[in-house]
Structure 1
């Protein structure tokens, strides 16, 4: 069944100087989505306050999380949430985990592992903490229940290549599953990694910076040696052949101008097509 599209133009989780471009990116993608199947989450204009949490703009991020969750609750099947920054994955994965308790793996297509806590983060940006929060090990203020979290042993990190020291320690100490960009040219290893979790349902998170900058211009972070659109699409197709997609997010589109957005949209629509056809 085709998903409900949920557009969440959140920018507050990003620490990039181009963060406001994420709002434009979400709007550009929304323009090519089917109107009757698309819902829009109202994002506050104000930046929000940390409220002594160690998370920049925490109050605004929490408001968006609650509003996003309410929209997801009303969806009849699975949802594809379009950001905005990758912090929107928190509510999206929570919803999928509650819908498929104990039977959900997460594939995290991203140049970054996003495994910080407020104590380890060099920036305080929630975008770098969201996967740790999804695992139930993140900021206590998000109050993630065990039934709506996904443990790190059920997460596969795909295409990460910009890792901070504290994250590197966690990756090695926990022996977290990783699939490199070169390995993703053949999705067999990715499928095997998900199968090893024992889950039958998979949540697919895509931060577009997993792509090589040559493949997409509208990226907040330009991290070389990333995926091609074809390899990302092939990996998604292979996952869908073996597992049931329980939800997905596409985040990180930050075009410099409407004209630049138009140039990138065919590639993004190919990725959406791989998830939804």
Structure 2
């Protein structure tokens, strides 16, 4: 069954000077997706207010989640969510969690683990809290409910190269598998980690900053020593060949200009292709 693409040009979860470029990145990717298989989520123009939650731009982020969930509710095929920043992934994981049977694991490929809460975040930017919200902790309306959340023991991190003390504490406390960039280069190691958490189906999140900056220029948080594009594509193909893919998200494209976006799109479309070639997970 072919994939459906849900484009969510959210930028309010990011905190860099290029935050609004995430909306441009989502639009650039959208331009190369089949229009008949693409749904576009209307993201608020305004930044939004924190409303005493400790999350910057909370009001807009909550509306984005509600609108993304409404868009996904009508999707029976494999849903591949295209951000925007990582905030787009919350509703995507909730949809995957509700839409199938069997233990769901999350493979989080990102230069950052995004495991802060509003109380521990040094910035208040939701982009650094997304995976913690997926595990069920965080601001009301953003953190997943008990029947949707992914237990920390079913999370596999890959490629994180910037981990804060609170994030390290959470990883260690819950025994979360945290694979290095070198380990991502061996798909068998990643598959073994997913098997070890008891996954029967997998949601894959790709923040493009898991890539080395030499592979992609349009990154708002570039960190050296990331994975290269061919290795990432090979890893994704191996994972979706081994496990039913319950859903996927690609986030973090922040091009500096339309011309720069065009230079980066071939690499991103290879990642899209690796994910969209997967068969749909059984419901």
* Inter-partner Cα distance in structure 1 for 2:175 and 2:194: 15
> Residues 137 and 143 of structure 2 are in contact (CA less than 8 Å); yes or no, is this contact kept in structure 1?
no
* Inter-partner Cα distance in structure 1 for 2:178 and 2:18: 28
Equivalent position of 1:130 in the other structure: 130
Deviates more, 1:182-191 or 1:166-175: 166-175
Write out aligned runs for 1:31-70 (5 A). Answer: 31-70=31-70
What's the offset of the Cα at 1:142? 3.0
Equivalent position of 1:159 in the other structure: 159
Write out aligned runs for 1:102-251 (5 A). Answer: 102-142=102-142, 144-251=144-251
Secondary structure of the structure 2 residue equivalent to 1:60: helix
* Inter-partner Cα distance in structure 2 for 1:227 and 1:144: 30
Equivalent position of 1:97 in the other structure: 97
2:4 is the counterpart of 1:7: no
What's the offset of the Cα at 1:244? 0.5
> Residues 8 and 84 of structure 1 are in contact (CA less than 8 Å); yes or no, is this contact kept in structure 2?
yes
> Residues 113 and 157 of structure 2 are in contact (CA less than 8 Å); yes or no, is this contact kept in structure 1?
yes
* Inter-partner Cα distance in structure 1 for 2:230 and 2:203: 20
> Residues 50 and 57 of structure 1 are in contact (CA less than 8 Å); yes or no, is this contact kept in structure 2?
yes
What's the offset of the Cα at 1:197? 1.7
Q: 1:149 to 1:101 in 2, by over 3 A?
A: farther
- Any unmatched runs of 5+ in structure 1? none
Equivalent position of 1:22 in the other structure: 22
Aligned residue pairs total: 277
> Residues 108 and 205 of structure 1 are in contact (CA less than 8 Å); yes or no, is this contact kept in structure 2?
yes
Equivalent position of 2:280 in the other structure: none
Equivalent position of 1:269 in the other structure: 269
Question: TM-score with structure 1 length normalisation?
Answer: 0.98
What's the offset of the Cα at 1:100? 2.3
* Inter-partner Cα distance in structure 2 for 1:120 and 1:143: 15
Secondary structure of the structure 2 residue equivalent to 1:218: coil
Secondary structure of the structure 2 residue equivalent to 1:199: coil
* Inter-partner Cα distance in structure 1 for 2:78 and 2:59: 27
Equivalent position of 1:79 in the other structure: 79
> Residues 65 and 142 of structure 2 are in contact (CA less than 8 Å); yes or no, is this contact kept in structure 1?
no
- Any unmatched runs of 5+ in structure 2? 278-283
> Residues 9 and 23 of structure 1 are in contact (CA less than 8 Å); yes or no, is this contact kept in structure 2?
yes
* Inter-partner Cα distance in structure 2 for 1:81 and 1:141: 19
Secondary structure of the structure 1 residue equivalent to 2:272: helix
**CA deviation digits over 1:18-52, x for unaligned, max 9?**
01111111110000000100000000000000000
* Inter-partner Cα distance in structure 1 for 2:175 and 2:157: 11
* Inter-partner Cα distance in structure 2 for 1:101 and 1:115: 26
Secondary structure of the structure 2 residue equivalent to 1:209: helix
* Inter-partner Cα distance in structure 2 for 1:21 and 1:206: 17
Aligned-residue RMSD, C-alpha: 1.0
Secondary structure of the structure 2 residue equivalent to 1:182: helix
* Inter-partner Cα distance in structure 1 for 2:106 and 2:162: 19
Question: TM-score with structure 2 length normalisation?
Answer: 0.96
What's the offset of the Cα at 1:215? 0.3
> Residues 53 and 141 of structure 1 are in contact (CA less than 8 Å); yes or no, is this contact kept in structure 2?
no
